[in-house]
Structures are given as structure tokens and as C-alpha cells.
Amino acid sequence: MAIALSLPPFGWWPLGVVGLGALATVLYDRPAGRRATLGAALGFGQYAIGLWWVTEFNVGGYVALLVLSMVFTAAAGAVVGSRRWIGVLVGLPAALMAGDWARGHFPFGGLPLGGIALGQAAGPLVPVARLGGPMLVTGVTAAGGVGLAILVAAGVGVARLRRQESGSDDSGGVEAARGRRATISARSFPGRNIVAGLMALGVVVALVVGGRLGPDGAGTGVHRSVSVAAVQGGGTRGLHAADVDPEVVFRRQVDVSNTLRGPLDLVVWPEDVIRVQGPIASTPEGAEVGRLATRLGVTVVAGVVEDVGTDRFRNAAVAWSPAGVIVARYDKVHRVPFGEYIPGRSLFRHVANLDLVPRDAIAGHGPGVLVTPAGPLGTVISYEVFFEDRARSAIHAGGEFLIVPTNASSYRTSQVPAQEVAAAQLRAWETGRDTVQAAPTGFSALIDHDGRVLARTTLGRQQAITGQLTLRHGRTLFVRLGDLPVLVLAVIGLIAATRLAPRPR
């Protein structure tokens, strides 16, 4: 639960470190079966809160996701080498990193929401994302927690040993039994444990400094600033698409955009605020957005849903130039399972009500980049912001700026919108790119390349936020190398932890 409370919307990031330190103390010197049980308990506490938003749609789905997440954390607990503190120190970060990678890919493309790294998006450990992405953020959070746990355990053990040797410890029975293991550890290896704890914290600090001082995505040469507006039409939250008139949504976006005053270079509208039958270029809505772009003299990027027949649709980000013509388009690649499409629809329709997802989205292809007069815009649509590979591919394709058109209007609470902002902060750190997120009812936000939220809207309110952001063309270490080096490091750590597991003679 401490880890869950480190996540947005709570955002108490130190509790993530504290929770993982507590986990380390209960995993220490436990058999594999007990460790698996404790890992499952960790998953229950973390995800019962972190995934609570799912209950707004389907309680059965919430239970299924909770159980699945507990399987990942149970497996992580089981593989931790726990007979020495050094085994926990190496094994726990490695197991959690590997578990995060697996949960971010399986099943149905993964579900990273509620993950440990999101709780550190506004904390001091997040610069390591530039070196190794969210997996490394999880790893250093765990290493910091274990390092602190080792130092606390060593200190408690030494204190108990001194009390016993001086005859001042008269707490017998259960208390003596509880302290016996710590006392033996303190007598045998006090210096080694303290050194291990200090080394762990030293590695964490070194990685954070490396993330701060390493390549930050700036590149060389002149960086051009762009004046950006994120437009939020506002409205009632907690409504499904079938309950909302698309024309009302569109008009609210137009109304806010008409209040904008220049000079501006880029206006970003949210995901699926334009819903049309057939290609957007031949619709009245498309023509009106073109006239808006011409009147303001800006590039406008808007989220468009195009119906394809009766049972399919496309979810795209479409860019209009200041001349009022469509110049670029990106169709969403990573769709939301059970939200935008139903995997195995023919099977699930016999066991669940699929009325809220009557049609399947057609998946796009390729990297998300829009080449526009405002610059090459790396684009991740809504759910894609939780997947580092989508932002990374956009930067590889030439994106000098990140935009996140999203739609979290269906959620009554702030949990998903707040986690989306945290995910955008992580993507900004990883890529070294300034980022703008636009949502129809919030949160919309402007975020710089150091993950700082420069401006953020109020949920449900009709408003626009503007600011100066920078086009950057360099690459961070994570953009260059991706997840693979960290995943290999995690596997090596797990192997090393098993070698360190046997109790010394």
C-alpha cells in the first residue's frame, strides 16, 4: 500500500522507497514459497489501489487484472535470492525490473499502469530514465529501498547485540526469537552489511548523477522555440462515448480555440474530439479545422475518429497546416485491449457484456511522427504514452517534440489522468523532449524535457494553456539503446542472486 500511495494521484514518492525496503526485510531468509506469497501480497496492496479505476468499467475485469498483476509480483518474490542481504540487494531490483518488463508486454501488449516507476516521475530518482527508461527507475527505487533496509537491519542487530552483551536486554520469549536472526547477522557480518547498504545507496546516487549529467537530448546547434497551446473543451466526466454528442464535443473545442491569441505556432487538440463517417478530409468538420488553422496562422493537430463500416474505426492524430490543408497523419498503433478492441471477440462475447466496445479499432503502423510546419512532432496517442517504445520510435523517426493527444473523460476520478501526466513526465525524461498533452476534460499539461510540469489544467474545466517549448534533436542514452541493456542486466542480476543465495558455512 505504501508503493500504491507513491503513485499519482497521491504522488508521495518516498513511500515507494519505503515500501520496497519493507518488502526486502520480509523476504530476507525466507523459503521460495513464502517469498512468492509475500510477492503476491505486495501485488495485492499495490495494484488493488493502483488499478482501482478499472472498477468504473468492469469489476470482473478489475479482479482479473489484479490477479494477473499478483502473479507477476509473486514470481518476482520467488526468484529473489534471500539467504544473504547481498542476495536480496541484487535479486530484488533485478526481479522487479524483469517483472515490470513482462507486465509491460504481456498479455495483449501489456498494462504498465500502476507500476512503480510512475510513482517516481516527480521524485529525485527519475533522471535515471535517461539511461535505462522506466525499468531502471524501478531498479534504483528498489536498490535504494534495499540499501536503507540493510542499514536499518544492521543497526538494529548491532544495538540488540550490545544490549544482550551488557545484560540490559531482558525482553525474552517472542522478542528474543525475533531478534535472534538479526543478532547473529550483526555479530557475524556487521561491517559487510553496512558496506553493502552504503554501496547500494552509492550506486543509486551515481546513476542519478549520470542521468543528470549524461546526454539529455539537446543535441548540437540552434534550438528553435515554438509557442504551443493545448486546448481543453471541458465537460462532464465519467461519461462513455455513447452518452456524449460528438457535435457538442467538437463545438466546445472550437469555442476555446477561438479565444486563442497569437502569436502561436502549434495548437494541439485532444484524442477523438472529432468523430466522422469516412475520411476526415472530405467532411465539414475537417474543413472547419482547416479554416481555424488559417485564421490563427498555426499548425493544428487534432484527434480524429473515422468510422470504417459498421464495426471498425480508425483513431488518428491529423495535422492541418496554416494554409488549412492536411499535411500529416498518424494512426494509433498500440490500441487499448478491451477498450478500443476486443481480443478474441468471438470468445469473450459469450462470457461478458461487450456493449461498451461494439467496434474494433484498426491498428496503425510505423513510428508516430508528424512532419508539420511547426516542426517534426513525435506523437503518442493516449494509452501509448504508457509505453516507452512508442515515444522512443517517434524520436528515432525524427521527432523533436512530443505531443500526447489523449482522452480520459470516461473516468470519474483523477487516477488515470494523473497517471497519464506522470507517464508523460517519464517520456520527457527518457527522450529529452519537451511535451504537450491535451485531453478534452483534463489533465492537459505542458512539460519540459526535465519532466517539470510547467502548466496543467483543471479537470472538467473549459480552458487552454499556452507556453514556449523547444524543439530538440539530440538523443539520450535510452533513446539510443532502449530496454535491452537493462533487461540483460536484470537477468544477470537474477543469476547472480541465486549464486549468492546459499547460507555461508
Percent of the chain with pLDDT over 90: 80
> Rounded distance, CA 321 to CA 309, Å?
29
- Please state the length of the chain: 505
Mean pLDDT across the chain: 92
CA–CA dist 381, 394 (Å, integer)? 12
- DSSP symbol at 337: B
The DSSP letter of residue 243 is G
Distance, CA of 5 to CA of 16 (rounded, Å): 8
Taking the C-alpha atoms of residue 260 and residue 462, their distance in angstroms, rounded to an integer, is 13
Give the whole-angstrom CA distance, residue 430 versus residue 478: 6
**Residue 2 amino acid letter:** A
Write the pLDDT tens digit of every residue in 287-304.
999 999 999 999 999 999
C-alpha cell, 62: 478489475
Tell me how far apart the alpha carbons of residues 415 and 8 are, in angstroms, rounded to a whole number: 6
Residue 183 in this model has a pLDDT that exceeds 50: no
Quick check: 166 pLDDT over 80? no
Where would I find the H helices in 349-414?
A: 388-396
**What does the pLDDT read at residue 136?**
98
Q: Domains along the chain?
A: 2-214+483-499 (no CATH), 225-473 (3.60.110.10)
Angle at 307 between CA 301 and CA 310, to 5 degrees: 165
- Which residues have CB under 8 Å from 66's CB, separation 6+? 43, 44, 47, 48, 51
Return the C-alpha cell found at 97.
525490473
Q: Is the peptide bond before 107 cis (omega within 30 degrees of 0)?
A: yes
Q: Is the peptide bond before 9 cis (omega within 30 degrees of 0)?
A: yes
User: Would you state the pLDDT for residue 504?
Assistant: 47
For residue 386, whether the previous peptide bond is cis, meaning omega lies within 30 degrees of 0, is no
pLDDT digits (tens, 9 = 90+) for 339-355: 999 998 888 887 777 88
pLDDT tens for 432-453 read 999 999 999 999 999 999 999 9
User: Going by C-beta distance under 8 Å and a sequence separation of 6 or more, which residues neighbour residue 428?
Assistant: 402, 434, 435, 447, 448, 449, 450, 451
Task: State the number of CA atoms in the 13 A half-sphere of 52 facing the CB.
Answer: 15
Q: State the number of CA atoms in the 13 A half-sphere of 301 facing the CB.
A: 37
Whole-prediction pTM: 0.93
